[in-house]
Amino acid sequence: MKHPDQRIGLLIDIQNLYYSARVLYGRKVNFKNLLSVAVENRKLIRAIAYGISTEEAQEEKFFDALENLGFEVKTKDLQIFAGGQKKGDWDVGIAIDAIKLSKSVDVIILASGDGDYVPLVEYIQSTTGCRVEGVAFAESTSTRLIESLDDFLNLSDDKKRFLI
């Protein structure tokens, strides 16, 4: 149930949505439209986008564009291990921020299809009474995650609006 008095916290896993859009459609996500539709005339308290910075720093203009849309952008450097393996994710950081934020909003909107967030969703729902909604591409979203959410916006249902 959505109503205009709900206070919203939107947390976006940039890498998850970026790679889903690229693999599924060969395109990029329209984060401006995602923000507008996800919030849906409710009271946005905080919108945080979590990204990974590479050595080339090619994503800096993109991060600046997100800030201009009203996102708080949190970044961390891509980790490169001795064997050449690369790792960059924000799962724990997003989870911690979601738990902290859930105490001061009515709805957490999690923009990611990662099934690792199921315990987080269940924890927030059972301990704070906060609703948890999801935004992602259904084809690359964990079925268990979708089932655990109070509401799910499938970006694939309106590709013209959510893809560039």
C-alpha dihedral sign at 164, 25, 94, 9: positive
Give residue 66's pLDDT: 96
The domain of 113 spans 7-162
Give residue 87's pLDDT: 63
Give residue 126's pLDDT: 96
CATH code at position 85: 3.40.50.1010
Q: How far apart are CA 156 and CA 74, in angstroms?
A: 26
Q: Which of 15, 72, 67 is nearest to 48 (CA)?
A: 72
Give residue 102's pLDDT: 97
> Residue 27 domain-assigned?
yes
Give residue 125's pLDDT: 97
pTM value? 0.92
> Residue 92 domain-assigned?
yes
Q: What is the CA radius of gyration of the chain?
A: 15
> Residue 1 domain-assigned?
no
**How many angstroms separate the most distant Cα atoms in the chain?**
51
> Residue 17 domain-assigned?
yes
* Strands 79-80 and 86-87, sheet pairing: antiparallel
Q: How far apart are CA 160 and CA 57, in angstroms?
A: 29
Give residue 3's pLDDT: 92
> Residue 2 domain-assigned?
no
pLDDT by residue for the chain (164 residues), tens only, comes to 889 999 999 999 999 999 999 999 999 999 999 999 999 999 999 999 999 887 666 778 899 999 999 999 999 876 666 776 666 678 999 999 999 999 999 999 999 999 999 999 999 999 998 999 999 999 999 999 999 999 999 999 999 999 99
Q: How many domains does the chain have?
A: 1
The number of angstroms, rounded, from the C-alpha of 125 to the middle of its chain's C-alpha atoms is 17
Give residue 54's pLDDT: 72
Give residue 59's pLDDT: 77
Give residue 1's pLDDT: 80
Give residue 84's pLDDT: 64
Give residue 90's pLDDT: 86
